[in-house]
């Protein structure tokens, strides 16, 4: 049985109403009718528009006040409130703290009280998954790469141990057998990416290691493994190819094609902070092709409306940002590929990341997400990726983010509308600017519903 969390309203008109969760989600409570729990004014008083947010990852649950006027209380102790002289729209001076909730805790916001019930009956993983892993195909012949001392010094013990055990015939790590770690490419909040080389075929690959920061649990591991398998079925010239994956020594490892030129952020830095219009458009049109394919492709594991998992159409990325657009050249032409399609969000939804969505920092994802993705997290449609692609284009052209951010990115996404692109840089051609601004419209819904529609509008704006 899975762990569940139930919230029960214990006061007022809605007393007795319950909400049960068996998977990771974030849940916003407030007066505004776009909250996950919208609390009507006529039933409960003293609730702010966006009052507090819960990060639910059964059996764990955390809460954070969103700078409410009257505060959020746990068992009658106040855990957060905005300063009395501060307006809801004002930038909050520091990141708001987050609190862990226990079974039986009572949350009070205004006149409403909710009781938290946690049922934990989870099975802890007793054996490693994925005994069978496919070996990657060798790519073009490469010379043997020699890591130097500075590069090897940056390699973590986790990566070294994985490769060592793989070469000692650990069958869960068979995929990594005969690979050598060449250098660390980069890190993120749940793992690391390395350049690796096969010592027989000389094929190079990128090895992504994702380290769950919560207790090993079979259902979570299976759920995330299914998401990687979904991603592995995507084969498209503008989506980074997954060569294989596995789970062993309590970490996930994914081998994917290596992109020597790095990502769009690296290119922006090399070009002085911005990318010229033709090049940026060339990149984003390819990204839109990749997204369009992923959004319509059949994949093996999709959660259906009835809760069952079966094959279904369309895989969302939900974390498209310049760092996840990788570049290479083919016949001296710049080729862009979407990477990590769905990975970070699936890791989060499977409950494997300890990083709460409520604590995402500026180097994380809220910078390129529409408000729909914050508010209706589980109900996202392809349009959230289309919005993110417009945000990436905006960023490439101006070096700026579409909306202004202060210290509390959560509230900023909900309250700050995107700034028209020509206010950032008035050299952007007018028709192109109009299409980008349109693509960033979020209210009442995202303007372009599909990647194909946005692509067509962009092409028309420059012809
Ligand atoms: N296949 C790859 N080829 C070359 N570089 C890669 C590859 N995959 C990732 N990288 C680079 O490795 C670094 C770390 O990537 P990683 O995906 O872990 O972080 P991220 O993209 O910032 O976060 P996220 O987990 O949200 O995707 C980034 O600079 C990224 O561009
Ligand atoms: Mg990435």
pLDDT band at 344 (very low <50, low <70, confident <90, very high): confident
pLDDT band at residue 347 using 50, 70 and 90 as cut-offs: confident
Output the CA 354–ligand 1 centroid distance in Å.
19
Whose atoms come closest to the Cα of 262: which ligand? Answer: 1
Q: Give the ligand with the smallest distance to the CA of 342.
A: 1
Specify the range with the lowest mean pLDDT, choosing from 113-117, 130-134, 156-160, 379-383.
130-134
241 lines ligand 1 (CB under 6 A): no
- Cβ–ligand 1 contact at 360 (below 6 Å): no
Ligand 1 atom with the smallest distance to the CA of 190 is: 25
Q: What string of DSSP letters covers 439-460?
A: HT--SSS-S--SHHHHHHHHHH
Instruction: Read off the pLDDT of residues 265-278 as tens digits, 9 standing for 90 and up.
Output: 999 999 999 999 99
Q: Is the CB of 319 under 6 A from ligand 1?
A: yes
What is the per-residue pLDDT across 395-446, written as a single tens digit (0 to 9) for each? 999 999 999 998 788 889 999 999 999 999 999 999 999 999 999 999 999 9
Mutate to test the pocket of ligand 1, among 186, 270, 325, 357 (most ligand atoms within 8 A of CB): 186
Q: Is 327 in the pocket of ligand 1 (CB under 6 A)?
A: no
Mean pLDDT of 131-148: 53
Residue 288 pLDDT exceeds 80: yes
Averaged pLDDT, 56-82: 90
Q: What is the pLDDT of residue 186?
A: 92
What is the per-residue pLDDT for 358?
A: 47
pLDDT at 133: 35
Reduce the DSSP state of residue 335 to 3 states and report it.
strand
CB 220 within 8 A of CB 350: yes
Around Cβ 76, how many Cβ atoms within 10 Å? 8
Q: Which ligand is nearest to the CA of 365?
A: 1
Is the per-residue pLDDT at 385 higher than 70?
yes
pLDDT class of 139 with cuts at 50, 70, 90: very low
What pLDDT does residue 127 have? 39
How close is the Cα of 189 to the center of ligand 1, in Å?
Answer: 11
CB of 193 closer than 6 angstroms to any ligand 1 atom? yes
39 in Cβ contact with 31 (< 8 Å): yes
What integer pLDDT is reported at residue 6 of this predicted model?
Answer: 96
Cα 120 to Cα 28, 229, 276, distances in angstroms: 23, 28, 54
- Whole-angstrom distance, CA of residue 322 vs CA of residue 388: 10
pLDDT in tens, 226-243: 999 999 999 999 999 999
Sequence length of the chain is 463
Residue 236, burial from CB neighbour count under 10 angstroms (0-12, 13-18, 19+):
middle
What is the whole-number distance in angstroms between the Cα of residue 185 and the centre of ligand 1? Answer: 8
Of 164, 175, 171, 163, give the one whose Cα is nearest residue 228: 175
Q: Give the pLDDT band (50/70/90) at residue 365.
A: low
């Amino acid at each position: 049985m899975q762990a569940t969390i139930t919230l029960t309203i214990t006061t007022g008109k809605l007393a007795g109403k319950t909400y049960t969760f068996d998977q990771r989600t974030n849940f916003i409570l407030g007066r505004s009718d776009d909250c996950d729990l919208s609390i009507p004014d006529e039933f409960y008083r003293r609730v702010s528009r966006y009052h507090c947010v819960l990060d639910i990852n059964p059996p764990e649950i955390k809460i954070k006040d969103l700078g409410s006027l009257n505060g959020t209380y746990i068992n009658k102790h106040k855990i957060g409130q905005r300063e009395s002289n501060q307006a809801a729209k004002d930038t909050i001076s520091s990141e708001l703290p987050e609190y862990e909730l226990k079974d039986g805790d009572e949350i009070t916001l205004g006149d409403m009280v909710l009781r938290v019930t946690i049922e934990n009956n989870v099975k802890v993983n007793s054996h490693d998954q994925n005994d069978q892993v496919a070996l990657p195909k060798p790519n073009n012949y490469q010379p043997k790469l020699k890591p130097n001392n500075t590069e090897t010094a940056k390699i973590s013990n986790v990566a070294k141990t994985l490769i060592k055990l793989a070469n000692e015939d650990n069958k869960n790590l068979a995929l990594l057998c005969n690979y050598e770690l060449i250098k660390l490419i980069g890190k993120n909040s749940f793992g690391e990416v390395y350049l690796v080389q096969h010592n027989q075929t000389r094929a190079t690959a990128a090895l992504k290691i994702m380290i769950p920061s919560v207790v090993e649990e079979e259902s979570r591991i299976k759920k995330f493994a299914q998401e990687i398998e979904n991603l592995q079925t995507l084969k498209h010239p503008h989506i980074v190819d997954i060569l294989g994956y596995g789970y062993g020594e309590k970490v996930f490892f994914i081998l994917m094609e290596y992109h020597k030129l790095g990502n769009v952020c690296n290119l922006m830095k090399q070009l002085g902070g911005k990318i010229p219009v033709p090049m940026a458009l060339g990149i984003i049109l390819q990204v839109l092709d990749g997204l369009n394919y992923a959004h319509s492709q059949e994949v093996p594991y999709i959660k259906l409306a009835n809760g069952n998992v079966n094959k279904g159409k369309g895989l969302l990325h939900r974390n498209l940002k310049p760092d996840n657009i990788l570049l290479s050249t083919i016949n001296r032409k710049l080729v862009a590929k979407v990477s990590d399609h769905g990975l970070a969000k699936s890791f989060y939804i499977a409950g494997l990341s300890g990083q709460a969505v409520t604590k995402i920092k500026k180097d994380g994802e809220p910078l390129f997400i529409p408000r729909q993705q914050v508010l209706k997290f589980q109900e996202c449609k392809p349009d959230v990726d289309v919005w993110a692609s417009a945000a990436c284009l905006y960023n490439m052209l101006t070096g700026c983010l579409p909306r202004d951010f202060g210290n509390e990115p959560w509230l900023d996404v909900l309250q700050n509308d995107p700034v028209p692109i020509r206010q950032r840089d008035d050299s952007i051609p007018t028709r192109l600017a109009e299409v980008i601004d349109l693509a960033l419209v979020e209210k009442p819904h995202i303007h372009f519903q599909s990647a194909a529609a946005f692509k067509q509008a962009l092409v028309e704006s420059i012809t």
